[in-house]
Chains A and B, each alone.
Chain A
Amino acid sequence: MKLVELASTIRSKNAGVDHITFDIICRERRNFERVRDSGALDRGAVARLFGIDESRVTDFVVFEPANAIKFTIRRLRPSGGMGESDLFGSQQYAPLFDVEIP
């Protein structure tokens, strides 16, 4: 099953001026447990998905109270500088939709 079918929220947003953070939240507890326990999402997997070095994934946590997985990526340049493509960091989540959850 694809992640987009299991999660109720998949979003990205600035976390401060140097990072973009990603939240994957499931309304159903069993969906969350399936995603959490699948092994399909971890630091290495998200680094590979976005084609970045794993050292740029600064945080990766499972946040049980919100049925959520959260990770944060360091930007190459601070937000809003020359050549900026996504000032709020709010459109970086789309590739997560198609992650296959066994």
Chain B
Amino acid sequence: MKSVRIVTPTGHLGTTPLEKASFERGCGMSPDVIVADSGSADIGPYPLGADKAASDEVWQRHDIEAMVLAARRLGIPLILGSASDTGTDRGVDQYVRLIREITVQYRLEPFRLAAIYAETPVDEIRRRLKDGASIRGLNGRPDCDAATLDRTDRIVAVMGAEPIRDALDAGAEVVIAGRSSDCAIFAAPLLNAGHSWADAFFCGKAMECASFCGEPFMGKETILGRVDGTGVYLTAMHPDQACTPASVASHAMYERLNPFREYVPGGYLDMTNCRYEQVDGKTTRVTGQTFVPSPTTWIKLEGSGKVAERALFIVGIRDPYTIANLDRVIGWAKGKLTERCGPLGGTYNVYYHVYGRNAVMEAMEPTPARAPLEVGIVVEVTCDDAARAETIAHIAGKNLFYARLPDVKGTAGTAAIMSDEVLHARPAYEWTLNHVVEVMNPRELFRTRFETVRA
């Protein structure tokens, strides 16, 4: 069976720039394909719902330029998944534009590009629901109903390997994929070379975050993966990093509910019986993974919808008496808000994030509060109307100055501000869909467009 070598220089293209030295070292190892994932749900529901990139285009361009120049120089395919953080149509079109600009700038020879779109209109999912399609909630979420879709502004379907395999088969030298399963973008060229689903998806699972599968901890360094029929080999390209059984195994459980299963369209990767062996100073071999096919094909849907406008106000407190009575102070401020603006949770909401006490862990904080020297409070107000959110945020913050405590000494104000201004914040969105929809064919929610890119 043909041995296939994959290099990946970044676990999230565009967040912070890839490191060129280890990438060039990886490119010197005769790779057959360069692959990088650009997506994340970590960034929250705003970028998908509002259709905005979370990454800065300067850094996206930096990484794409390094990869497209290397791929064209070596004459090997380049696969980029989940374009521009969210994998919406905007993200795919943005990456295609960057590729065209780079091609012109460096006067590259013409090449075939495939753009694979994954955005799915809300009405299309509404129609499927009406036609009786099953749209199941993942991990304890309720199933999707019409009300769920009413709250949703934008949906991406998460592609498996199939649309990418088709694009490569059709001769694409650069594939820009919309939202895609992280491991499927690595699996596609391996499956096309005839490797097992188990090895193909395990290789993708291990490589999706690049140097996170090595030790010591480093981001944005290149990893070389090799699949040859005798296992999956992972090699760190940075001189001071190694892929070890411990580092690869601990990455297998990163950001996942459990370390044993990875679901993709068509089944799941079972890592229960994986064996990890050190084969040289920088390389670990993994064997024993299996793939369990599913009789039904499920495609994951991610959806986001706008909930409200937001405004913020920042307040600091140093007075120990006020800090000791902070709950009463916030309670007083909320009472005044209710008097002026109506009940909390009605047409508006307010959240007092008390940094220095429990802003980070809130109700899950088990440690009894110690008296901090200072606290910083970020007052967050949400409301349908942006102007009203700012009006409410102003008094929700300012009321902390005027709380009526019986023994207060600081009668000129019990709080401090760095600046007397309400901060306009981007709207609040929520993840409305984290579901799977049953499909007949794993390709049916995706559309591929080919073009020849010329200088």
Contacts and interface: CB of A to CB of B under 8 A. Distances in A.
A66 to B, nearest CB: 4
Contact of A16 (B257, B259, B360): B257
Contacts of B245: 65
B240 interface: no
Contacts of A91: 360-361
Interface of A: 9, 13-19, 21, 23, 25, 27, 49-52, 58-59, 61, 63, 65-68, 70, 72, 74, 76-88, 91-92, 94-95
Interface residues of B, number: 49
A21 B139 CA distance: 13
7 A-B pairs with least C-beta separation:
A80-B44, A66-B249, A78-B431, A83-B351, A65-B249, A66-B250, A17-B431
A13 B40 CA distance: 13
Nearest to B49: A80
Contacts, number: 140
A50 B358 CA distance: 13
B443 interface: no
Given A17-B434, A18-B140, A70 B258 contact: yes
Interface string B217-255: 000000000000000000000000000011001101111
Interface of B: 41-46, 138-141, 245-246, 249-250, 252-260, 274-276, 302, 307-308, 310, 349, 351, 353, 359-367, 380, 382, 428-431, 434
B250 A68 contact: yes
| Residue in A21, A27, A81 whose Cβ sees the most chain B Cβ within 10 Å | A81
B361 A61 contact: no
A14 B434 CA distance: 14
B104 to A, nearest CB: 37
Given A23-B254, A86-B361, A81 B380 contact: no
Contacts of A77: 430
5 contacts: A15-B256, A16-B257, A18-B434, A58-B140, A82-B310
B69 to A, nearest CB: 32
A92 B258 contact: no
Contact of B255 (A14, A76, A94): A14
Given A16-B434, A50-B364, A65-B276, A79 B44 contact: yes
| Residue in A49, A80, A85 whose Cβ sees the most chain B Cβ within 10 Å | A80
Contact of B364 (A66, A83, A87, A92): A92
B361 A66 contact: no
Contacts of B349: 82-83
Contact of A82 (B259, B308, B363): B308
Given A65-B245, A80-B429, A87-B42, A51 B259 contact: no
A12 B193 CA distance: 37
B333 to A, nearest CB: 16
